Structure 1
Amino acid sequence: MVTTAETNLRALLNRRDLGLSLVHSESEIPAGALDRPLRWVHSSDLADPTPFLSEDLALLTTGTQFDQAVNIDTYVGRLADRGILGLGFGTEVHRAGIPEALVTACAAHGIPLFEVPYRTPFIAVARAHSEAIAAQAYARRSWALDTQRALALAALRPHGLDATVSELGKRLGVWVGLFDTAGALSLSRPRDAIDPDVREALDDRVAEILTRGLETGQSLRIDAHAFMLFTIGRGGHLRGVMALAVDSLDPEARSVVTSVIAMAGLALEQSGQLARRRRRLHTQLLRSLLTDDPALARRVLGGLPPTPMVVAVAADVPSGPLSDWWERHRAEHGTPVFLADSEDGVTMCVSAADEELLDQVAARFGGRIGVSDQETYTSFNRAHAQAVTALRQQASPGIARYADTVGSSILTALATDEARLVAESRLAPIREHDKRNSTELERSLQTWLEHDAKTEFAAAVLGVHRHTLRSRIAQAGAMLEIDLSTFPARAELWTLLHTARD
């Protein structure tokens, strides 16, 4: 931070024109007692001045109150409880020297005691402190103006946002980090100045703020490290978070940070508009790729991820933060990727060699992702259809690969919402009968078909006589109006049982 005129007790004691002298050695008073910010200097000879004092000030006295049988230890104890930072005793005004009891009491209560010589009026001490406060305020205003000019010039450089963040960190003398909409640290100055464990906790807090989507300015402490966090952008449309490794900011520093946040918001909003236009262009190129002709996309983009490639379609994932994540990964690792918005979700195309990155996407964004088999661009449409099919089979967050979906069952692939509705309607008569009469027609049919329609084996599993099972099958067939002695009817019943919801 900028160096300014100090407003503490040490600064007053160092003023040669005042002639103040510390009674105790510095080792006899609490560490840092002379360096705490001093709010004001006040004088009083009241026996108990504390009702009229605020904390963080120095009190001056001539000691006339001690002639009134005032208990000195009690007097000093009240000052300590009130938060007085120092006690100045004016000698040779009312009495010679400083009472020994006062020296002892101040040492016991940890209050620095200093002598104010006869030649120095109390008003001179108060005026000196007032001038130091004014000098500090002027220095801070000058620093703020100079810093604002430096930040404005930094914003005009190439990579202006990066330069502005770097300049802010240098001017404040603290670590500054800028997180993008995906909650990833995109800029930091100085780099790698934060312990990895602290960074992980900070990342989690930033991600929580961005997930809530609310504007905020808050302080955060991680172990012994203090941070201040500021959101960039308006509530519901946050563009990122700025973090500073500092526990507080004075008004001048806060105004500087506020201006940087405004500049960052404008820069990121402009970048976001360009990104949205780029995504719209990619959506048009996706339509071209779905014709299995990659020529137009290659001409416009200059290239596509190398083959063999896989196509992935993500649902429940915001395209903006996802695009930011891929852009950062491409800048850092050179990973080629194609992204586009579509009716089914965000379409991603990556080389098969980079397919494992899709697992990172699923873990970071928590959405559902369907992934195709490895294909070439002349089969892009098929790969996209495979990804959509896999996505529809994935009910919870995570990745579903088409190869796994195909390997499970054709019935699983055919189990659409419409098919389930039809199956439930067809099975309704026997389900209602079972519910009304506490029978087990549906379970009996299921077990019978699982045992290749062999009545004797199925009856043994169900624990009933084979004639009882034959009677149930005949009753169910009549209720469903199908002849279960034929293979097509049995196949239809098997499909109904596996498609309907339990």
Structure 2
Amino acid sequence: MPLTLAGLLAHQDLGLKLRTGSADVVVRWAHVSDLVDPTPYLDRDSLLLTTGLSLGRTSRRWPEYVDRLVRAGVPAVGFGVGLRHAEVPQALLTEAARCGLSVAEVPQATPFSAVVRRVADGLMTEERAEQTAAMEGYRGLVRAALTPPPHRSVVTRLAGQLDAWVLLLSREGHLLAGAPENARRHAERVRLEVARARSWHAAAFDHGGTRVTLLPVGQGARPAGVLAVGRAAPLRGHERGVVDVAVDLLSLGVAQAAELMDSERRERATVLSMLMSGRVAAAEEAAEALGIPLPEPPVRIAALTTSPARRVDLLEALEDERSLQIVSALVAGDAQGRVVVVLPAVEGDAGVVQTVLSRTSGSLGVISEPADLNGLADVWPKIAALADTLPASATGRLLATKDVAHEGLLAHVSPAKAEGWAYATLAPLESEDARRIDLLQTVRTYLAHNGNTEAASAALSIHRRTLTYRLGRAETLLGRRFSDPGLRAELWMAFTVRDR
């Protein structure tokens, strides 16, 4: 704890009395001066001890005097009474209260040297306390480095010691470790700052009221990663030493940690591939050998897609989701760039995936109905195909198969392409000859009445034979017959696109 004016007031043998201001101001040194302007000889955070010898009790120069002290960074004045002034001048107290300067009365019986000695003793005590705290911090980090996985243990320990959030990222920007649990939400901003700096040197930036310190982890021109420490209060001297020790410890293993993470992801992807291809027994044997827990059936499988730039973010978010870890969900990437989750079919299962999905912009996905592990090989191709064709309107959502159907076919087609196709399909019915007998409206009305010629002719207010004649002309122009259900479906879809 830094030495404060309150610490000096607590020493009853000094007999100091607070006359105005806060007792919580920090004191870094004590200086004795009766000069009208002592500021050239003062360091910031110094306690100025004076008897006011150069200024009278009602001097008009007190405001100027106080203003100079405040601008010089003096937090407090110890005013000695009994020599020049029988009591602390009211003019001094008034100006000090206005400017936020603390004033303590020093009795005549207390020599200034005694106050200076107490300040020096307090600073030595503070220094010893910081040294002790630093040594305890060093030992704690070393013990953490011996606890597997060491990089996560060191990061967790460092965050606890500093009461800060801490992130460890690989050179490629992969999140290797973070503490506390909500620290990962700062990962994207850290990546942006590292990319903006375009170098691997120590740096700092402000982020939401927090001062973030970036330190390269590893040696050479391209270190293995970066450590980010975020805290509202600036790091003190001994705390910076603790961070330096953490960087040294992490430098020994961050490259291995990145390799380990990549290896774990490849292993999970291998197990997933076995399940998707129907080799369930082999997948279970491989999972047991690799120490990968598999969810208890029945299970559901979710296929999620996002932009290539956000794929790692989505994968990391799902890997770090505690609810998925508890139920032993299998999270892995596949060869087509999707992120796949196999999780037990329990209440709220889709909600967990949906929450993670909504936090990663531009992501969307589809989730299957419950199935056993042996049924995943049949379910997966359908789910993968749906995930690859989800419309942009589904961004941020995790859809079930029934939800995909409710989106409708046109939601999966580019509007420009759909309009071009509809124009080309209906073009034969919009020729000059076709317009004279209004073939376009005739065919539309015929289709709207499900091919019922009596109902269609009545709706058009024409004779049934006239309708038959027009439909024959339309078949000739289209080169296909209305008895073909495919033609009827295509024409109706073309009309629907044109109406949109």
User: TM-score, normalising length from structure 1?
Assistant: 0.68
2:106 maps to 1:115? yes
- What is aligned with 2:338? 345
Kindly state the Cα deviation for residue 297 of structure 1 after the two structures are TM-superposed: 0.7
Q: Distance in 2 between matches of 1:87 and 1:157?
A: 51
Question: What SS does the aligned partner of 1:390 have?
Answer: helix
Shift of 1:231: 6.9
| Residues in 1 aligned to 2:412 and 2:93: alpha-carbon distance in whole angstroms | 91
Q: Which moved more, 1:461-470 or 1:158-167?
A: 461-470
Amino acid at match of 1:325: L
What residue number does 2:200 align with? none
Q: Secondary structure at the match of 1:66?
A: coil
Which residue of the other structure, out of 38, 53, 77, is the alignment partner of 1:87?
77
Corresponding letter in the other structure for 1:35: D
Q: Which residue of 1 aligns with 2:300?
A: 310
Partner of 1:294: 280
Matched position secondary structure for 2:235: coil
Q: Which of 253, 258, 262 matches 1:276?
A: 262
Residue 214 (structure 1) aligned to one of 192, 205, 210: 192
TM-fit CA distance, 1:112: 1.4
Correspondence 1:217-296 to 2 at 5 A: 247-257=233-243, 259-260=245-246, 263=249, 270-296=256-282
Q: Is the 8 A contact 1:8 1:37 kept in 2?
A: yes
| 2:48 is aligned with 1:59 | yes
Deviations 1:322-372 (A, max 9, x none): 366346547852434363423161233233336534434434445221233
- Letter matched to residue 337 of structure 1: L
When residues 306 and 145 of structure 1 are mapped into structure 2, their CA distance, relative to the original with a 3 A threshold, is: closer
Matching residue's letter, 1:112: V
SS at match of 1:65: coil
User: What is the letter of the counterpart of residue 57 of structure 1?
Assistant: S
Aligned-residue offset at 1:208 = 5.6
Provide the secondary structure at the position in 1 that maps to 2:23. Answer: helix
- State how far apart, in whole Å, the 2-side matches of 1:96 and 1:419 are: 93
Q: How many residues align?
A: 464
Q: Is residue 146 of structure 2 the alignment partner of residue 153 of structure 1?
A: no
Give 3-state SS (helix, strand or coil) of 1:253's partner. Answer: helix
Which residue of the partner structure matches residue 448 of structure 2? 450
CA distance in 1, matches of 2:95, 2:278: 88
* Residues 147, 171 of structure 1: 8 Å contact kept: yes
Q: Distance in 2 between matches of 1:65 and 1:440?
A: 109
Which of 427, 433, 452 is the matching residue for 1:429? 427
* Distance apart, 1:300 and its partner CA: 0.7
Secondary structure at 1:353's aligned position in 2? coil
- For structure 2, the residue ranges without an aligned partner over 5 or more in a row are 195-203
Partner residue, 1:192: none
| Contact residue 318 and residue 331 of structure 2 kept, 8 A | no
Post-superposition Cα deviations, 1:19-69, rounded to whole Å, max 9, x if no partner, equal 8543xx44x533xx2331124444444445568867643333343423698
Aligned-residue sequence identity (percent) comes to 21
What displacement does 1:383 show? Answer: 0.7
CA distance in 2, matches of 1:44, 1:464: 114
Q: Could you tell me how far apart the structure 2 residues matched to 1:92 and 1:43 are?
A: 16
Q: Tell me if the contact between 1:369 and 1:391 (Cα under 8 Å) persists in the aligned partners.
A: yes
- Cα separation, 1, equivalents of 2:90 and 2:297: 89
Change (3 A) 1:433 1:344: farther
Q: CA deviation at 1:165?
A: 5.2
What letter is aligned with 2:145? Answer: A
Distance in 2 (CA, whole Å) between partners of 1:452 and 1:37 is 88
List gaps (5 residues or longer) in structure 1: 189-198
Following the alignment from structure 2 to structure 1, what is the Cα–Cα distance between the partners of residues 192 and 383? Answer: 34
3-state SS, counterpart of residue 318 of structure 1: helix
Match of 1:325 in 2: 318
- Measure the CA separation in 2 of the matches of 1:166 and 1:414: 45
Q: Quick check: 1:362 aligned with 2:357?
A: yes
Partner of residue 394, structure 1: 390
Post-superposition offset of 1:140: 3.0
* C-alpha distance in structure 1 between counterparts of 2:189 and 2:466, whole Å: 59
1:164: how far off? 3.7
Contact 2:214 2:229 in 1 (8 A): yes
Q: RMSD value over aligned CA atoms?
A: 5.3
Q: Do 1:291 and 1:381's aligned partners in 2 also have CA atoms closer than 8 Å?
A: yes
Instruction: Note the alpha carbon deviations across 1:197-224, whole angstroms, 9 max, x for none.
Output: xx9xxx4x85265267324856677xxx
**Equivalent position amino acid for 1:450 in 2:** A
SS for the counterpart of 1:112 is strand
CA–CA distance in structure 1, aligned partners of residues 148 and 493 of structure 2:
64
What letter matches 1:391 in structure 2?
A: A
Q: Is the 8 A contact 2:20 2:97 kept in 1?
A: no
1:34 aligned partner? 23
